[in-house]
Every structure is written in structure tokens, then in C-alpha cells.
Amino acid sequence: MLTSDVIPVTGRAPFHDEFVTCGGVSLKSILPNTLESRTRPNLFFAGEVLDIDGITGGFNFQAAWTTAYVAAKAIAEKGARL
């Protein structure tokens, strides 16, 4: 059921309220492969603290999960080298 279920999309959410997130730590100030600060070593950023614009309810969740994964992986790898 998890892999073959079909769920039809019929339109937008019934609330008709879309929110946009924006602002935060500039992407230019972090290393893109690790999300580590360029100016403060060992400081990592993820999720909505980053300056990533997107409609909430999907894009922002994916950005939060993906950046958390990237930052956590980089922290673990950095810790393993110490």
C-alpha cells in the first residue's frame, strides 16, 4: 500500500493561506557542502535559520530536513577526524 497507493491531488489546501518564509543566515556566509559558517568554524546552520525563500508546508520542510541531514553528517565526519 505504501508504494502503490494512488492519492489524487484535487487542488490547494482548503485554508487558502500560504505563508512564505524568508530571511536568516546568508547562504554566502556558509560552506554549501557542510553548512558550516565561513567565519566561525564548528558553527553549523540548518532549517529556517537559513535565508531560503519558499512556500511553507512542503518546500520549507524539505529544506529543513535536507539541511539538517547535511549539517549533521558534516558534524559527525568532523568529530570522527578529531
Q: How do residues 14-57 score in pLDDT, each as one tens digit? A: 665 656 667 799 999 999 999 999 999 999 999 989 998 766 66
Above 90 in pLDDT, residue 6? no
pLDDT at residue 20, as a whole number: 62
pLDDT at residue 17, as a whole number: 60
Contact yes or no for 50/24 (Cβ under 8 A): yes
Which amino acid, one-letter code, is at 57? G
**What value does the mean pLDDT take over residues 50-67?**
81
Which secondary structure element, helix H or strand E, spans residue 67, and what is its range? Answer: helix 59-81
pLDDT at residue 2, as a whole number: 72
Above 90 in pLDDT, residue 10? no
